[in-house]
Amino acid sequence: MPRAVLWDLDGTLVDSREQHWIAWRETMAADGVTITEEQFLATFGQRNDAILEAWLGPRATPDYVDRIGDAKERRFRELVVRDGTMLLPGAAHWVRRLGTEAWAQAIASSAPRLNVEVTHRAMELDGFQALVSADDVRAGKPDPEVFLVAARRLHVPPERCVVVEDAVAGIEAARRAGMRSIGVGDGAGRAADVTVASLADLPEDAFDALVRE
């Protein structure tokens, strides 16, 4: 039977935190708003509308979210194109290995499609049969839609999918989708079926064991 791994992108496969922080800080400062790194970290991985609402409350009108969000994402992509992106430990090993073992793979991210495409190119890592972004869904994580869309595009039933995530919202989205999950890093919490500090720490049978169960 088919089986699939659905990868979150930022913080799971690549270390893009600094580029996102710079892009948010510069964009907000240009609009006269100062944000702290603590504010940024508390919302990292969420959609722009949720981030700006958390920072600004009622001031985050739809027009404001679109204008500031678009400016921030343009700046983020400029930084990725200029500086490249850094794969996190274990990411390349697992994507390549799973590809040789006939696992279907998709990136399922809350980021805008252009960000996903630019980062995917910068990764220089093949093996993904689908890219699913915020532009492909109506609701962000912890809603399960992004993972369900990815599973459909891979033609793999949810119970045969393993989600890899670095955030609590992503782990909850996997649970709601009826999928097993691997949580990477401190931000993923302890709700995942398997939790590790790094992808490099995963047991050799981690993915096989989750699907067998």
Query: Distance between CA atoms of 182 and 188, rounded to whole angstroms?
Result: 9
Residues 6+ apart with CB under 8 A from 148: 158, 177
10 catalytically annotated: yes
Which residue has tokens 């930084």? 79
Three-state secondary-structure class, residue 87: strand
Nearest to 22 by CA among 12, 37, 7: 37
Alpha carbon distance 99, 58 (integer Å): 46
Please tell me which residue in 10, 31, 70, 126 is annotated as part of the active site. Answer: 10
Containing 131, the helix (H) or strand (E) segment is strand 130-132
Report yes or no: 108 and 146 within 8 Å, Cβ to Cβ: yes
Catalytic residue among 8, 135, 205, 208: 8
Q: Which residues pair with 162 in a beta bridge?
A: 5, 180
Count of beta carbons in the 10 Å neighbourhood of residue 174:
30
Residue 31 annotated as catalytic: no
- Known catalytic residues? 8, 10
